[in-house]
Amino acid sequence: MTETTTSMPLLGDEFPNLTVQTTHGSMNLPGDLKGKWTVLFSHPADFTPVCTTEFVAFQKRYDQFNALDCQLIGMSIDQVFAHIKWVQWIQSELQVTIQFPIIAANDAIASQLGMLHPDKGTNTVRAVFILDPEAKVRLIMYYPQEIGRNIDEIIRSVQALQTSDQQGAVPAGWPNNELIGNRIIVPPASTEEQAQKNANQYEHYDWWFCHKPLEEA
């Protein structure tokens, strides 16, 4: 009996080197991704109900992702011709034009990214990789086949990552946190002197929980 091992990139890793075929042609990853934020998401199979609702939801928010300088890329183990036919069906039957590419992966690629269900044959999990402009993995989400993703949460995650890179950590539910709203958390002090300075400079609940206004772009 052959044991199958799976691996996946970890947070902070550069996305693996892959040459893939997509509905928009061949792509070399991560090279072709660099320079923009990327949401790469896998789905179990074409021509399935939950996946169809997800693709429509992603496309409906396509302009929102563009506004964040973030590109979308879908992926499953279906072949390119199946992706093309499914995209055509979505356009003709649901009047939604899918504008982002879809990767036709194989078992080896899916295994390399840790996207295969142990008990689901060759269907990929609903994985989401958010990559920064250096093609570093910044956030990973996994969903079971039975649960469709919340695309607004993915948009929020991209916004939060971009904001935290520039301004500091963001709280739960940002920008609508129950305690501090859209404010930014100040890094906790590591010395008594800095703790006192933070408490004097920022609004706070205590010296280790200081916060400051969000700087609008």
DSSP bridge pairs for 37: 70
pLDDT of res. 119: 62
CA distance 83 to 162: 31
pLDDT of res. 4: 45
Q: Which residues are catalytic?
A: 51
Within 8 A by CB and 6+ apart from 168, the residues are 184, 185, 186, 187, 212
Sheet with 184-185, edge to edge strand ranges: 184-185, 209-212, 203-206
How big, in percent rounded to 5, are the helix, strand and coil portions of the chain?
30, 25, 40
Domains of the chain: 18-149 (3.40.30.10), 168-212 (3.30.1020.10)
pLDDT of res. 1: 37
Low-confidence ranges of the chain (pLDDT < 70): 1-7, 116-124
Using DSSP, state whether 46 is helix, strand or coil. Answer: coil
Which DSSP symbol is given to 5? -
Interval 32-63: pLDDT, tens: 999 999 999 999 999 999 999 999 999 999 99
pLDDT of res. 216: 86
- Report the predicted TM-score, pTM, of the whole model to 2 decimal places: 0.90
